[in-house]
Chains A and B, each alone.
Chain A
Amino acid sequence: MYYFIYTLLEYSAFASLIFINIRSKTARVVGLCLSGLLAAFLFLFNFVIKFKKFDSIPIAAETLVLSVFAIYFFYEQFKDASSLYIYNHYCFWITIGILLYLCGSLFIYVYADQMTSQQIDQFWFFTYIVEIVKNLLFTVAIIVYSRKPVFKPKKIDIPYLDIKELS
């Protein structure tokens, strides 16, 4: 149950971070449908199919769906002729953080259900490394976002004069 909730929450958080920066309405609808299908798959897998130690297949499915969202986000940025350098956009750093984290730890999570406890202890450190890399890239995203110029309306120096009041 814990693994199901964790995977679902992780997917929701990552997907929503990418989703808010996808402009195409069709892509959003397709994304929502995929998310619904994935949620149903996670639910079924957790309660119908019994896994030994780890929900490897749901994680693989989550990685696949999030990779598709990430690639679509990059494709949209390519198409947008008005956009500046892609690395000036905070979502770029979030997306590569998510991609590196999921793809870097994919094989470990996929094999975790078959490995012994000893093997898991031996190789699990790599998931910490990719997690740290992900968090560092999320930090860069926060810095890039905070540096975005904020539009301040120009202060009008003309004093308010109500002619009617003067007369």
Chain B
Amino acid sequence: MFFLQVTTHSDVSLVLFLGTLGMLVLVIGLILFIIFHQRRVIRYQQKLQSMEIEQQKMMLTASIKLQEEERQRLAADLHDDAGPLLATARLYLNENLVNQDKNTQLQAIYQARQIIDDTIQLIRNISHSLMPPTLKNFGLESAVNDLFQKISGSGTINASSRFHDYSDRLKPEKELVVFRIIQELVNNILKHSNSSFIHLTENVHGDKFYLRIHHDGRGIVQSDFEKLTKSNIGLGLKNISSRMRVLHGSINFEKDVSQTYYKITLELPKDDPYES
């Protein structure tokens, strides 16, 4: 209290005036700081929210666009391939056939049967490309090996795959999503990279499941991937990004240290072993 003791009237006035003014300035300053800081924080949060909504809209649009493309491709395959084949088979099997001689009839039936066999094979291929039965019946390892064998069989590229430890299968729904991601990545490599080999390896480390795809063509790195997923192009990559989010996994695009090939790493949490 010693420091608060005053002796003269002017001292009291001065101390009271300065003290009260100081306290009021402090309080008003505090209130203004609180109001403006909070407004800044809310504006920033609103900006983040709108960016997230924008990103989700883009992902949804990409997903719908991809679906439409898939349907168009399916419609084109059926209309351009299956349709004309069946129409041709119908031509061979018309009512006038009964008036023809036996040889001609046999020839026509044989041709129609050949065309129908081709149509069956075509529809089987379309169905397999939509949902490979190998995946459902034998699992991800067999489906991927099958896919890579077909690619290698075309002769244009050397494709191989190796699963080191897949004794505990993933859940069927997860296997399907992983297979679609691998399909999309491989399609992108075949379309854009101009590479001479693709190699897939699978590993398990702790509670994580790793898939690595190596290729020696033109590739992208992680920064390119992130830029493309945020832009209007790169629908396939947006799809991959959405699927990885569904699996609670991560994808990493990088160039190998030796700078000779590109590596894509998929990291997924390992769920409980599936007993088939």
Contact = CB atoms under 8 A, between A and B. Distances in A.
Interface of A: 57, 71, 74, 77-78, 81, 84-87, 96, 99-100, 103-108, 110-111, 114-115, 119, 123, 126
A156 to B, nearest CB: 32
* Chain B interface helix/strand/loop/mixed: helix
Contacts of A111: 4, 6, 12, 15-16
B31 A85 contact: no
A86 B41 CA distance: 11
Given A110-B4, A114-B6, A103 B27 contact: yes
A107 B6 contact: no
A114 B7 CA distance: 9
17 contacts: A74-B30, A86-B34, A86-B38, A96-B31, A100-B27, A100-B28, A103-B26, A104-B23, A106-B20, A107-B16, A107-B20, A107-B23, A108-B16, A111-B4, A111-B15, A123-B12, A123-B16
Given A107-B15, A111-B4, A114-B6, A84 B42 contact: yes
Interface in B35-50: 35, 37-39, 41-42, 45
Contacts of B16: 107-108, 111, 123
Interface of B: 1, 4-6, 9, 12-13, 15-16, 19-20, 23-24, 26-28, 30-31, 34-35, 37-39, 41-42, 45
Given A107-B16, A114-B5, 18 more contacts: A57-B1, A77-B38, A78-B37, A78-B38, A78-B41, A85-B38, A85-B42, A100-B27, A103-B23, A103-B24, A103-B26, A107-B20, A111-B4, A111-B12, A111-B16, A114-B4, A119-B9, A123-B13
A78 to B, nearest CB: 7
A86 B26 contact: no
Contacts of A74: 30, 34
Given A85-B42, A99-B27, A111-B12, A106 B19 contact: yes
Nearest to B39: A85
B101 to A, nearest CB: 74
Nearest to A119: B12
A86 B35 contact: yes
Nearest to A108: B16
B35 A104 contact: no
Contacts of B30: 71, 74, 99
Nearest to B42: A85
B11 to A, nearest CB: 10
A106 B38 CA distance: 28
Contacts of A104: 20, 23-24, 27
Contacts of A100: 24, 27-28
A106 B23 CA distance: 8
A144 to B, nearest CB: 14
Of B5, B27, B45, chain A has the most CB atoms within 10 Å of the CB of: B27
A111 B39 CA distance: 39
A123 B30 CA distance: 26
A126 B37 CA distance: 31
Contacts of B38: 77-78, 85-86
A105 B136 CA distance: 80
Contacts of B19: 106-107
Contacts of A87: 35
A87 to B, nearest CB: 6
Nearest to A67: B27
Contacts of A106: 19-20, 23
